Amino acid sequence: MDWYKDSVYARLVVRRAILGVLTLFLVSLVVFSATQLLPGDTARAVLGRSATPERLEALRAQLHLDDPAILQFARWAGGLLSGDPGISLVNGKPVAELIGPRISNSLVLLGLVGLFGIPPSILLGIYAALRRGRRSDSSVSVVALALAAAPEFVIAIGLILLFSTVVFQWLPPVSMIRPGMSILDRPDILVLPVLTLSLVCFPYIFRMMRASMIEVLESDYMEMAKLKGLSPARLVFLHGLPNAIAPTVQVIALTFAYLAGGVVVVEYVFAFPGIGQGLINAIATRDIPTIQCIVLALAGFYVAVNILADVIVVSVTPRLRARAWQKP
Amino acid sequence: MKEILRAVPQPHASVSVADLRVDLNGAGIPIVDEVSFELAAGEILGLVGESGSGKTTVGMALLGHSRSGLRITGGSVCIGDKDVLRLSERELRAVRGKSITYVPQDPGTALNPALRIGTQLRESLKGQPATEADVLQLLSDVKLPTVPAFLAAFPHQVSGGQQQRVAIAMAFASRPAAVVLDEPTTGLDVTTQSHVLDTIRRLCAKHGVAAVYVTHDLAVVATLANRVAVMYSGRIVEIGPTSVVLTEPTHPYTRALIRAVPDLDGPILLQGIPGQAPAPTSRPKGCAFLPRCPMSIPACMAAPPSLARVAPYHDVRCIRSDVRVQAAVTAGRESASVERIGPPLLEIKALRAFHGSAEILKGIDLALAHGCSMALVGESGSGKTTLARCISGLHKKIDGLMYYDGQILAAGSRNRAVESRRQIQYIFQNPYASLNPRRSIGEAIAAPLREFESVSNEELRRRVGEVLDQVALSRRAAQQYPHHLSGGQRQRAAIARALIVNPTLLVCDEVTSALDVSIQAVIVELLDRLQQERGISMLFVTHNLPLIRSVAQQVAVMQSGRIVELGAVKDVLSRPKAAETTRLIQDAPHFRQA
Amino acid sequence: MATTSFRKAKRLLSLGIGTVGLVLALGVILLAIVGPFVAPHSPLDFAGAPYQPAGDGLLLGADSLGRDVFSRLLAGGSGILALAAVATIMGVLAGAIMGVAAGYLKGAFDELVMRVLDVAMAFPQTILALLFVSIVGPAPWLIALMVGVIHAPQVARVARSASLKVADADFVLFAETTGASSWKIMTREILPNIFDPLLVELGLRFTYSIALIAGLSFLGFGQQPPTPDWGLMINENRIGMAQNPWAVLAPIALIAVLTIGMNLFTDAVSRLTRARSAELNEAEPQSQALDLSSAGSAR
């Protein structure tokens, strides 16, 4: 009887994927045109005033700067599609080789945030909704408001002040590793970045979970379920949660997508060898191919997370998934 | 007599409510007070009242439940030998859904959208072991398709009528001693309503279930209940066998209420009840109905009257219940036959209207004479509102011709001449949505006038005052905002806003359906007066067939986008030609025959 | 009206936290505005040894180059605040205009705006700001513009969905039947009904502007040395956190107090306006109070 499900999912994924590809195309256009905005001569802007004419010429040739913009874009986009995002201007290595490990490091970071940061936020949201209006609810809510307002680097440095320098010296203040080492060899360097990002995520997920749970708790069907004499656990987890989770899933996705930006700041603070720090380094050295590639990778992550969220939302919302019932 | 005997409470009452009181949280102000009644197995009590009377609060309290902001503070509710109000949380959970169950007003929102119908039905069995056949039997009890696929469906996949049947099946699944039904047919059309009422009647009789049927609809009570309790301002003002209360109402409120209900066999002129019920916080010291009561004497002011027996099994809360009043027989005004000569005011030829690619109106031909009032009746989805919206220019995707006063009427109000925009005024169904909450009533009424004429502020004030007078609203209302007014007052303000530009046609879209019957009658009186005094033509859209006798001379019966019958109201009602008209007449609940 | 007094009490409580927030935020804003005129030292002059601890005439010690932390603190907020204010006003104004027009006019215009918003929001926006600022250089006008551009789509979404809720209301339809112009309907009928959420957006966006702009400074893409700037100060003095924590702690604390205070205040305003709007839009005379749940708003 689930025959229709597949087609609904398939249609959704295809539609969203097309939209995603379109978005990525537009993003790549923006990224590309942004680099065209470099004031004056791009090669000189990259290499600085002291550059010799030979080096300038070499760079122009390498970047094909004398070609028309459209051709440059086509060449670059074609390279990306074939898995070759170009050569770093800083050390001449392929960009893919440089940022590959960084991507996996950042994914580990985000994965840990998903594992340790999100479940407590959801549970606290449910808890606060059930105790709405009481002291425990309002105190958690005020903390959430505060965390939502404070910039990431404030939270990060606050945690460093607290756990790594001034008050306690329990954890390393930076997350640097020696070349060749994996971040998984040093779990202690992961603690503060994961904690920071979890605290950054917490208010959004908490508040959405709380708000949608409250809305559900006040719905007619929850009153009806109560009047059926169901147990509180069944009430909350079987009747309430499935209806309240969909908006939260969407917010989790949005938050994760937002983390694609937050990760830059947090990795920079902790000198974490991830993609965000890579971006800051690349910007500092004006390594254009690397900048372009990292921005696109982050955009791709953003798009993918949003597609995933849509699929999950549809799978937890029967209304979106099933058509009108017909007598067989 | 048999009716009355059946209504006699049995020695072992299934439900026994005594001195029930529900307060606003923390303030000691009763929303509901001194409510007592008993019900025997198989008996159905109609709990009737207008909005704010406390009827739903009583229904909820029977399950030991109160909505947020309210608290049950006194009395007892015994189901069998258990007092629901004195049970622990755990004991209460065992009783709810088992001994006493609940059927919600709107199953569309009361069934859990995330759970399959089968899951929700099984839950209602409260842990009794049940095979799939048992669950299917529950479906068959309420005449739902007995196939497993139905159990696997989610609520949104079935129709509104089916959803309500599911809710009823859930309520009867555990074979309860009592069931509370909270206006379960409100959103349904008359035919579905009559089927659902049959089902409820049958199940109560079959399983010996005592039922409390909460409703605002006297006609439904007449067809369903053995006894009726009328509530006003938180108290039962009259309780007795249905046949007695409806034919010989004794409380002045019950009498007035019955005069306000349109009925195919009742008088044509409806009489509204002036004023409105007091809020719980501002009840008068004496009888709560006093300010609206035509029979009040100084003694009524002293203290709230208590419920007194006037006849066997018939109790009334009025110190003047001994005064026998001849039921006021108002001579029915014969609807003026409209045979006016000259071109019609509004003429529609082969009008078709679309919503996306769906054809909502499939060729409408209609002519409305000057000064005439025509009702458009039909079930939801028949296209009556779309037709009204086409005429007022709100629905733009149309094909066909409309003439107003001989001039072609364009699709969409923005394409029309200023003069036709002024002459055709639309009044909306829901007075809670038709006034901008952020604008004062005075500004709202003045806005259309500003659109059509350039008038000085002084002139504006004068004319706003004039129309407020005409709709019997205080001039003070001009400074107030919509949330200061009651529903009936808001609808008057909306009418005033239409009147201020001196229209020749009022298009009234279900203008009374969001209001209580006593207020509906007042609005109907007002519209009738306007038509008489100012010669305004009217198109009155309604699903309420009995009402058309009071508001219109002509009627167009609509069904799936077509007019199936058109004629003078009295001819159509006495000699219906179309099958749809006959069906509407049959399924309309008549309460005077009870 | 017990619920009313209950409601009022609850409202006062939330206003209490909100008032604390407002006082805190105003305190920091005042400090940032008046600060430069009362600083004991020039923010650019050397007043002590690098990372000299607090005391010895330097209230909060010295920074990495030996400049007075307190004086730099007093001087380092006005730039952030001015940029944040400009960016917020630009973003909210642009977003509100787009949102109201899309929500009311619907059709092709709405479709266009929504697609543009989709793409804008499918882009990691901080990265967008970083990208442009890194390429063009940290010019103040660019930072304000970028932050405004980041806000506009979010504000437009809020304005659009609020407008959609009233765009089909009967009172709007009525105004249409009288032939009122679209402009009149948007300004007279719709805007007053969505003014509250826009006000809340203004507060939220201002908070986020401060966070974003301070963040850019922290990353080195805002004000450039030796200008005193809270975000920049934090980064400059991170290395010496152990010797003189005040050089980092003080600007961090000011940014935190400002943003958190603003947010607490905005949230209280949001609760108040929601309660008021629930009262104004009361569906039935006797309906119960709505729960004053806090606004769920994402950046």
At B399, phi and psi to the nearest 5?
Answer: -145, 140
Q: What residue has token string 């479906």? A: B139
Residue B39 lies in a domain: yes
For residues B575 and B463, membership in a common domain is answered with: yes
Which tens digits make up the pLDDT trace of B427-484?
A: 998 888 899 998 999 999 999 999 888 889 999 999 999 999 988 888 888 999 998 8
Q: Which residue has the higher pLDDT, A175 or B97?
A: B97
Chains that touch A (3 or more CB pairs under 8 A): B, C
Per this entry, what is the length of chain A? 328
Tell me the C-alpha to C-alpha distance, in Å, between residue A8 and each of A17, A39, A248, A318, C118: 14, 49, 22, 11, 22
Q: Which helix (H) or strand (E) holds B32?
A: strand B30-39
Give the span between the Cα atoms of C119 and A293, in whole angstroms: 19
- Please give the tally of structural domains in chain B: 3
First-to-last C-alpha distance (Å) of chain C: 38
Q: Which helix (H) or strand (E) holds B22?
A: strand B15-24
Can you give the residue ranges of every domain in chain A? Answer: 100-313
Q: What residue has token string 């067809």? A: B223
Q: What is the pTM of this model?
A: 0.83
Chain A stretch 193-222, residues whose beta carbon is closer than 8 A to a beta carbon of chain B: 218-221
The number of C-beta contacts closer than 8 angstroms across A and B is 87
- Residue C65's SS3 state is coil
Q: Residue B387's pLDDT is what?
A: 94
Q: Is the peptide bond before B294 cis (omega within 30 degrees of 0)?
A: no
Tell me the C-alpha to C-alpha distance, in Å, between residue B293 and each of B298, B321, B375, C285: 12, 13, 32, 22
Q: Which residue has the higher pLDDT, C2 or C17?
A: C17
| C interface with B, Cβ–Cβ below 8 Å | 1-3, 5-6, 169-171, 173-180, 188-189, 192-193, 195, 277, 279-286, 288-289, 291
Contact C64, C52 (CB under 8 A): no
Q: Which residue has the higher pLDDT, B423 or A86?
A: B423
Chains that touch C (3 or more CB pairs under 8 A): A, B
Kindly state whether A242 is in contact with chain B, defined as any CB-CB distance less than 8 angstroms. Answer: yes
Give which of A226, C177, A183 is closest to B448, Cα–Cα.
Answer: C177
Give which of C6, C2, C16, C1 is closest to C291, Cα–Cα.
Answer: C6
CA-nearest residue of chain C to B416? C179
pLDDT band at C125 (very low <50, low <70, confident <90, very high): confident
Q: Do B96 and A218 touch (CB under 8 A)?
A: no
Q: Is the dihedral of CA A135, A136, A138, A142 positive or negative?
A: positive
Which tens digits make up the pLDDT trace of C139-151?
A: 889 899 999 998 9
The nearest CA of chain B is from the CA of C289 a distance in Å of 8
Per this entry, what is the length of chain C? 299
Annotation: CATH topology of A100-313: MetI-like fold (1.10.3720)
What is the 8-class DSSP label of residue B415?
A: G
Burial of A279 by CB count in 10 Å (0-12 exposed, 13-18 middle, 19+ buried)? buried
Amino acid letter for position C116 = V
Residue B244 lies in a domain: no
Q: Identify the CATH number of the domain in which residue B446 sits.
A: 3.40.50.300
For residues B320 and B352, membership in a common domain is answered with: no
Give which of B163, B176, B45 is closest to B105, Cα–Cα.
Answer: B163
Tokens standing for residue A166: 């001034």
Strands laid side by side in the B424-427 sheet: B424-427, B505-509, B537-542, B373-377, B554-559, B562-568
For residues B196 and B126, membership in a common domain is answered with: yes
Pairing of strands B407-408, B562-568: unpaired
The nearest CA of chain A is from the CA of C200 a distance in Å of 14
Tokens standing for residue B539: 């198109």
Share in percent of chain A as helix, strand, coil (round to 5):
75, 0, 25
Tokens standing for residue B387: 């037709």
Tell me the C-alpha to C-alpha distance, in Å, between residue A190 and each of A113, A172, A267: 10, 9, 11
Contact B524, B365 (CB under 8 A): no
Give the span between the Cα atoms of C275 and A82, in whole angstroms: 56
Give the span between the Cα atoms of B555 and B577, in whole angstroms: 13
CA-nearest residue of chain A to C17? A142
The number of C-beta contacts closer than 8 angstroms across B and C is 108
Q: Residue B339's pLDDT is what?
A: 52
Tell me the C-alpha to C-alpha distance, in Å, between residue C146 and each of A297, B121, C31, C127, C215: 21, 56, 26, 11, 13
Give which of A287, A295, A294 is closest to A59, Cα–Cα.
Answer: A287
Which tens digits make up the pLDDT trace of C84-122?
A: 999 999 999 999 999 999 989 888 888 888 878 877 776
Q: Is the pLDDT of residue B39 over 60?
A: yes
Question: What residue numbers bound the domain in which B116 lies?
Answer: 13-225
First-to-last C-alpha distance (Å) of chain A: 11
Q: Do B102 and A323 touch (CB under 8 A)?
A: no
The percent of residues in chain A predicted with pLDDT above 90, rounded, is 20
Q: Is the pLDDT of residue A173 over 70?
A: yes
Across the interface, of B27, B413, B435, the residue whose CB is closest to C2 is: B27
Q: Is the pLDDT of residue A45 over 70?
A: no
Kindly state whether A176 is in contact with chain B, defined as any CB-CB distance less than 8 angstroms. Answer: no
Which tens digits make up the pLDDT trace of B105-114?
A: 888 889 999 8
Kindly state whether A324 is in contact with chain B, defined as any CB-CB distance less than 8 angstroms. Answer: yes
For residues B424 and B500, membership in a common domain is answered with: yes
B25-31 long-range contacts, Cβ below 8 Å, gap at least 24?
Answer: B25/B69, B25/B70, B25/B71, B25/C2, B25/C3, B25/C6, B26/B71, B26/C2, B26/C6, B27/C1, B27/C2, B27/C5, B28/C2, B29/B280, B29/B281, B29/C2, B30/B73, B30/B234, B30/B280, B31/B57, B31/B70, B31/B234, B31/B280
At B590, phi and psi to the nearest 5?
Answer: -105, 125
With contacts defined as CB-CB under 8 Å, which chain A residues touch C211? Answer: 149-151, 154
Task: Say what the ipTM of the complex is.
Answer: 0.81
pLDDT band at C56 (very low <50, low <70, confident <90, very high): confident
The packing angle between helices B517-534 and B252-260, to 10°, is 50
At A287, phi and psi to the nearest 5?
Answer: -85, 85
Give which of B26, B34, B17, B69 is closest to B287, Cα–Cα.
Answer: B34
Contact B61, B77 (CB under 8 A): yes
Contact B557, B572 (CB under 8 A): yes
The percent of residues in chain B predicted with pLDDT above 70, rounded, is 94
